[in-house]
Amino acid sequence: MEIITSNKGCENLCYNGYMYVLKHFGKSKITWRCSKRSSFKCIGELYTNIQKEDPVLKSDHNHFGDSEKVDVEKALCIMKEQ
């Protein structure tokens, strides 16, 4: 699990070949939704605690994960920071 920053400055969570965007920040947990929600109508969601640790899958994805694309996004994020 890794947190990266998007082009717009938002946090994205990378986990098991999927990317998630922040949906809701609650008192005891954070809800993340699949970044492919609009393009694939994916209902994949994930919970983490407030410290952004201990991910728990809430609902499954309707598409396969792409760990290579996630690796590319991580590399782009590192290059942008430099």
What's the pLDDT at 76? 84
pLDDT at site 77? 82
Task: Determine the pLDDT at residue 48.
Answer: 94
Grouped pLDDT means (10 residues each) for the chain, 82 residues: 82 90 91 89 92 89 84 84 79
pTM of the model: 0.82
Q: What is the pLDDT of residue 34?
A: 92
Residue 30: its pLDDT value, please?
Answer: 94
Token pair, residue 30, equals: 């954070």
Residues 31, 33, 77, 65, Cα dihedral to 10°: 130
Using H for helix, E for strand and C for coil, what is the string for 26-64?
Answer: CCCEEEEEECCHHHHCCCCEEEEECCCCCCEEEECCCCC
Give, in order, the Cα–Cα distances in Å from 34 to each of 48, 73, 80, 81, 82: 14, 15, 23, 24, 27
